[in-house]
Amino acid sequence: MFSRFMLVLAAVLLVSSCAQINTQVLTDDSLGGRNNNTAGSTAAQNYLIALMANGGAVGLNSAATGDAAFKQPFTLGTNILGLIPGTDLAHEYVMLGAHYDHLGSCLPASGASSVCNGATDNATGVAAVLDIALHFSVPENRPRRSVILAFWDREEDGLLGSGFYTSNPLVPLGSTVGYINFDIQGANLLPSLRDVSIAVGAES
């Protein structure tokens, strides 16, 4: 029942572009905190694939078809990867990434739910990538370079999903000209930083 609800809501979100609703869907108790290799993780995967496919993205895994083309399975995890083809620089790739997994259950306070919903870490990051993807789905906003939408699994276990991709890339790493990671959006660890965004850059 919830899976059908998510697919319908995915179509609505393509019109509304509401990051808040995406965050609410991904943090719903029914997903159980999106721990890897669980029914909640699978539901999150299906939701992400539906949004990307309905928005015109294609699966990055050219060796597969249908929903499987969006999946990169690895031990106890599944990365979800979509592609928005570019125009004149389509052979170059910019990757936008966010991990979609979270901890599953936490020790609850007295009388509270034990579900770790993972809104800040990292449903908000996923929602940010989805909103950018929605922008690029409009024909007049088509990017020059191809954009890879990367939703990593098992980040909470030690960056395992993104690590697996770098060892098993679906497009040449030498053609990937940039990567932007979205993690912990909309909140900071210290109240004094509530109006501060932190950007970290690296080049190699």
What is d(CA 67, CA 9) in angstroms, rounded to the nearest whole number? 18
What distance in Å separates the CA atoms of residue 138 and residue 134, rounded to the nearest whole number? Answer: 7
What CA–CA distance (Å, rounded) separates 140 from 155?
Answer: 34
| 55 DSSP assignment | T
140, 155, 156, 203: the active-site residue: 155
Do 59 and 121 contact (CB within 8 A), yes or no? no
The C-alpha atoms of residue 166 and residue 119 are separated, in whole angstroms, by 26
Q: Is 155 one of the annotated active-site residues of the chain?
A: yes
Find out whether 147 and 177 touch, Cβ atoms under 8 Å: no
Place of tokens 């509270």: 112
Give the span between the Cα atoms of 110 and 119, in whole angstroms: 21
* 163 CB-contact burial (10 Å; exposed 0-12 / middle 13-18 / buried 19+): middle
Instruction: Write b or e for each residue in 56-81: b if 16 or more Cβ atoms lie within 10 A of its Cβ, otherwise e.
Output: bbebbbeeeeeeebbbbebeebbbbb
Which residues are catalytically annotated? 155
